[in-house]
Each structure stands twice: as C-alpha cells, then as structure tokens.
Chain A
C-alpha cells in the first residue's frame, strides 16, 4: 500500500518536474496575453464563404513565443466549431492557406485583398494595410481595428469587437 502510494507520488512529481526539465520554453506573460487576444479576435470575425473549412489555419511570421502560447492544448481549442492549425512561416513565404496571420514587427508586408485576418504588434500596422494592431498602453494590451482593410479582405468584424477597440480606423464618416 505504502509502496503504491510512493510510486504514485513519484509519478506525479516526475511528470511535473519532467515538463519543466524537458526545456519547455517559458513563455512570457506578454506573449501569453498576445496569444489570448489573438484567439479571442478570431471569435469575432466572419470569413467569406470561400474561406470556409473545418480547420482554421493560423500562421505566424516570427513571434515563436506567441505561437507556442497559442499551441498549448491546441486540439481542445475551437473557434465556432472549427479546429485550429498553427503553422510557422518564414518572412516572404506565401500565406495562401492561412486564415489568420500573426506578424512579428515589420517582418512581412501584407498584401491586401486575400481573406486573411492579419494581426501584428508592429507600429501603425492598421494604417499600413493590416486589420488589427496590438499595442501596449499603461501596462495593458490594447488594439486598433481597421475596418476598411477588413472589408477589402472580405472579413466581417463583430461590432462587439469594435466596441472594445481603442480606435477604429477606416470607418466611413
């Protein structure tokens, strides 16, 4: 009995320590937050019918830590019943199959038009063709949405998301 208990304990401990010792990258809080924002954004976006599929493909240009944070328990994550696939892309590589692209800094320019939700923390990303720009203010993450760029990409963005945005750009006056 005691041996069994000890064995259980040992198993428990080793699994906990194991993960830490296996060199799992420690993702910063900041990047965990970015991943969480990204995941939430997807819930407020409607893709055009031609982009419909069972799987929502999220591509990352750089931002490895954000990709890692989003990949935790990936098989359990769903956006409106769509499963998620996470892929890394090199700068300049084609983004054809991507539904969502997260771009680190100015590492990749965005071609407007494709039905892709583009998100980045690059400065002025929203006014340079991107759909959502993340930025930090007062130690909180905030975002700007450019509805004109979303419209060109054929994306519909829920008004609930627009309400939470610090700024909405490209809106008709």
Chain B
C-alpha cells in the first residue's frame, strides 16, 4: 500500500551537533540516554592504548554524561542507541535489519520489500504507533499512518547513529509518537571528506553500489554528495526485481554564531508485486524528493534551532492506490534557554501544510474526497527542574497540537530521574500520547468481498467505510526504568511499562442496507470507529558486557503481554499480532591482522493471530580491513537456513515470504584528504 508523506522537520530537536553541545532537555531526552551501550564503553577510562587514527574517529561527547557533572546525562526514558561501530559491525544493508539489534523493537520482514516494525506492540505492515525521523524530519505518512520502510533507504555509511526511544514521546514530538520514536541521524559533511566507492553482491540482494565524495568548498563550507543503487530479488516469481536509485547531498557552513545546514535526497524505487487494487502482477513505481534548510546556534540566553523543509512524492500502482501525489512543507523552531537556577526551559513551535491526493480503483477501493489539504500547528514547552546537587531531576512537559479535522491534542508528560550513585540510576514517567486518524481510516471505501445470495435473493457485499468523524487514539502510559552498572565493563538497562489505550480505531459492523445497484446487493458495512480499549504491559532488558578489549557481548530480552477488550464484531484484532517474547545476543570479536568476526542470534516468539511460528536465526559477519583504504566483508544471514516466515502479508492477504539463508559480500575503497 501507499506510503509516506513527508512532513517536516520535527523541530530540529536533534541535529547531532546540537545534541552533543547543548544540555537541552528536549535533546537530553534523546541523547542523554545514549545509555547502556555506551556507558560501558566509556567506562574504559584509559584510551591511550588506541592509535591516533582510531582516536580521530571517536566522538568527544557520546553522552552528556561524559560532560562532567551534567545530570541531564541520563534520559528519563527507555533509550537505546546504535552507533557507527554497531552499524559497521552489523552486516546489515538496510535500516530495518539494523533495528533487529535493538532490544524492544519488533522487526518482521513481510516480503522482499515490506517490513513490519513497531515497539511495544501493535505490529503490522501498517504499524502506526511509532514515529520515525531522519535528521529530525518525520517520515511517518499521513495517508495510512505509518512508515514505508521500503521507501526509506538511507545509505548506512552516511548514518552517524540511530537513537531509539521506546515509550511515548508526544510531549516533545507530537502526535503519532505513541509507542516510541526512532531518530536516524546522518553524519556531518565535515565527517565525510574524501572519496568512497563500495560494491557488493549476494544471492538475495543481487547487487549494491555506492559512491560518495566530500570536501571543503572555497567559502569554507563542508559538503558531501552520494549516489547509491541496488537490486534485490523479488521472491515472487515472474515479477521484476526491486531496483532502487538515489542520490543526495549535505552542506554545512558556519553562519553567524551557529551553523547552516542544507541537505536533500532524491529517490526512485521500482519493484514488481501483486497489485491488490489492479488484481494483477505489475510494477510499482515510487519517486520522492526531500529538501531542508536549517540553522542552529547560540543566541544570548539560549540556543535556537530553526528549520524549513519540503517533501514531494509520487507513486503509481502502489497497493490499493493507483496514483498518489503528496506534497508537504513545514517550519519548525526550538529554543532552549540557558539554565536558570534550578530550571532548564525549552520551547518549540511548528507549522506544516500537507497536500495528499490518492486515487484508487473504482469498484475495488475509492477515496472520498480523493484530495485533501490540511494544516497542523503545534507548541511545546518543557521545564526540567534539578534537585539535590542535580542528582534528582523532575521534568514537566507538554505539547499542544491543532489539526483541522480532529480535536486539538494535549500530550503532557511528567518524568523523574534519580542518580542514586555512580552505578545506579532510576527513572519513572507518566505520559499521554495520541495518534491521528489516517486518510484511509477517514475516507476509504473498500469493497472487500461479495457473498453470492440464494437463488432469487440479492448478493451480500462486505464493504469497509472510512469515517470522517474519527478522533485521535489515546494512550496513558506508565513507565519505570533502572540502569545498573554492576561492574566497570558491564551495564544492564531495564525498562517496565503498563500502557492503557482508549479510542483505538477499528472497524465495527453497522446495520446492513440495500444498494439498488445495478446489480442490487445488500451491503454489510464495517465502519472505522474509535471503539477499542486495550491494555499492554511489558519489560525490556539490554545488557552490554565488554569482556576484554577484543570481545564484547550484548544481550536483549523483550517480554510483552496484551489484553484486548475489542468487541466481537471487529474485523481485525490487535491481540496476538506480536510475539510475547524475543531474545537477542551478539558477540563482537576483534581478531588479529585487522579482521573482525560478529555473531548475532535471535529468537522471536510466535505470532498467534497470523499463525506464524516462533523462529531462531543466527547471523555471521566477517570483516577484514586490508589496509586503511580497502575493506572487505562477508555477511551470512540465517546461517543454519532455518526457513521461516516472519509476518503475514496484509497487503496481498497471503502468508508472508519464507526466508532462508542468504549471503552478501562487499568491498569498499576509500581515500581521505
């Protein structure tokens, strides 16, 4: 199905530089927590054993924790960060594969192109409770509510880190950050000087090629440009493989007391699949462009981050839409005042305009109206109050957002964090978050199936109707967390939550009515309504142990439980669409002669509603830095070839693809200057 809109720039909340520089609460929430995985690394107090080239690639401040006694160092939220090193060592070729490493994130591959990704439950190809940002810009689509991962390929070498916050982030990021927020932060142009070319080939990912060039231009600004192409197997026989081509740039330059950033990407994707709307196999074509301009810097009394951005996207024959056209434009500002006594205050404001146009297939699915323009505005404020030599912090924040078609949403949070001692930190939070109804849920009319009538009787037609009066889904979330460092090189991060959802949007049966046709039928309508109440609870544990300088072990566990109080006439279910448990383990080994070995393992529990069995998968990666310029790696996914499906294919209403072993080898050459 369709995909993404591209709203804009969630308040420059977290461009990388900024994060490291300012102790803003807003940012703090994210960065701060660079928690578990990093505290351990950081605890290795003596870095003098490392050579200069290694040192030159190390971040000065990985957490605000490293910034002396800044208590905003630890987030009062469940945070996990994938670093460049994690990405390099993963063997992954896409962001969804990387996210498999993050405890608490549910990742299921539906088909060669599609992924179902969420956190804290409600997974689906159309998972709609996880907000995803790239450099602060939302890639969550207003059309079906969710993220089209297949359209969001981000070249992995351009990524500086991926920050994952589980739990509601509505008080900072607004609507749809209900169960979590993922922010993908790309590298600054000054970090990617030089020339890199890389190529790879494999059995399911046929080929991948990328080039990048970065440098300093005469006016003193740094820039980089890249282009990337890949071709992947379509597991459905007789359809075209997935071909993706994209290019982009980033330019950073000092401007006044801050820095100006101008970046953008152009993408084109083609792949063959079963097109539900057309009821035939055909090629999907999606292309999009994104441009943004931002400035961030110090002002008297605080720091300011402003951005403007635009997004254009067009698709043809994508799922149930024969044509989509999306345009969006947004402005965003975030101001963080310097600390004043006990208080650290920050304010945000945003405005965006979304234009969506969706055409369906008459007789199968239509959208009424097919075109919609809407404006969204928002204000946020947060106060972080410090007590007891800054070892205790209380955080109060809220965001107020106005939408044209639903009620104004207020999303408050109250958080507390206590650094009990060097080795123990406890935090707790109570928050409210909302999700806005999608274009589909409001305006879709879908002819699902026809039940032939008895002789002389009209047929019955099961049809799904969107409902323009829908309001937001609401969540009240309660969270507890504990970060424990029992030893210098061992860290354990535990998060517990209980979520109470109401007004969840689901279809309910309505009274049948006759449609005079022709042909005359009795319509059995199912109408989207704010009707479901559900409770979930769960636990997430992340452990990081640096056993020796050459061996690092990471373990993760995710436990999940849901009570779904839906009515029996709902068409779909929320319960049992997620595994009740997932376990992960990774070993990262540095071998002699600049070689490295990585072993990953995961066990994902059964998904009962879709009849998906539990499965295990073991992944291997071997890397060799032949010299400073040349690198070689081989990654084997699912080494033991345990063939398994990971999710149901909701778009084609068939079981998802079955995956076995796959191999991908890559070689890359770089020249710095």
**A65 → chain B, closest Cβ, in Å?**
9
Scan residues 63-92 of chain B and give those whose CB is less than 8 A from a CB of chain A: 66-68
**B135 → chain A, closest Cβ, in Å?**
15
What string of 1s and 0s marks CB contacts (under 8 Å) between A78-104 and chain B? 000000000000000000000000000
Measured CA separation A33–B49 after assembly (Å): 11
| In the complex, chain A residues whose CB is within 8 Å of the CB of B59 | 29, 139-140
**B652 → chain A, closest Cβ, in Å?**
45
Chain A positions within 8 Å of B, measured between CB atoms, are 16-17, 20-21, 26-30, 32-33, 35-37, 39-40, 69-70, 72-73, 77, 136-142, 161, 164
Q: A20-B423, A29-B66 are in contact. Are A40 and B487 (CB under 8 A)?
A: no
Report yes or no: A73 in contact with B190, Cβ–Cβ below 8 A. no
Q: A16-B487, A36-B47, A69-B45 are in contact. Are A29 and B52 (CB under 8 A)?
A: no
Q: A16-B487, A40-B48, A69-B45 are in contact. Are A139 and B61 (CB under 8 A)?
A: yes
| In the complex, chain A residues whose CB is within 8 Å of the CB of B56 | 140-142, 164
**A23 → chain B, closest Cβ, in Å?**
10
Report yes or no: B46 in contact with A69, Cβ–Cβ below 8 A. yes
| In the complex, chain B residues whose CB is within 8 Å of the CB of A30 | 60-61, 66-67
Closest residue of chain B to A16, judged by CB? B487
Question: Can you list 7 A-B pairs with a CB-CB distance of less than 8 A?
Answer: A40-B52, A69-B47, A69-B48, A72-B48, A139-B20, A140-B58, A161-B52
**B73 → chain A, closest Cβ, in Å?**
11
Report yes or no: B46 in contact with A33, Cβ–Cβ below 8 A. no
Measured CA separation A9–B62 after assembly (Å): 32
| In the complex, chain A residues whose CB is within 8 Å of the CB of B50 | 36
Measured CA separation A110–B448 after assembly (Å): 82
Give chain A's interface secondary structure class: helix
Scan residues 1-56 of chain B and give those whose CB is less than 8 A from a CB of chain A: 16-17, 20, 42, 45-48, 50-53, 55-56
| In the complex, chain B residues whose CB is within 8 Å of the CB of A26 | 422
**B416 → chain A, closest Cβ, in Å?**
23
Measured CA separation A32–B61 after assembly (Å): 11
**A36 → chain B, closest Cβ, in Å?**
4
Closest residue of chain A to B54, judged by CB? A36
| In the complex, chain B residues whose CB is within 8 Å of the CB of A16 | 487-488
Measured CA separation A139–B18 after assembly (Å): 10
**B137 → chain A, closest Cβ, in Å?**
20
What string of 1s and 0s marks CB contacts (under 8 Å) between B467-491 and chain A? 0000000000000000000011000
Judged by a CB distance under 8 angstroms, whether B627 is at the interface is no
**B419 → chain A, closest Cβ, in Å?**
12
Q: A73-B46, A139-B61 are in contact. Are A28 and B68 (CB under 8 A)?
A: yes
Q: A29-B66, A30-B60, A164-B52 are in contact. Are A137 and B190 (CB under 8 A)?
A: yes
Closest residue of chain B to A65, judged by CB? B68
Measured CA separation A28–B60 after assembly (Å): 9
Q: A30-B67, A32-B47 are in contact. Are A141 and B422 (CB under 8 A)?
A: no
Judged by a CB distance under 8 angstroms, whether B57 is at the interface is yes
Measured CA separation A40–B55 after assembly (Å): 10
**B465 → chain A, closest Cβ, in Å?**
52
Q: A40-B51, A70-B48, A138-B191 are in contact. Are A33 and B58 (CB under 8 A)?
A: yes
**A33 → chain B, closest Cβ, in Å?**
6
Measured CA separation A20–B301 after assembly (Å): 37
Given contacts A29-B60, A69-B45, 7 further A-B contacts (CB under 8 A): A33-B55, A35-B46, A36-B50, A36-B55, A72-B45, A73-B46, A140-B59
Partner of B17, one of A40, A139, A142: A139
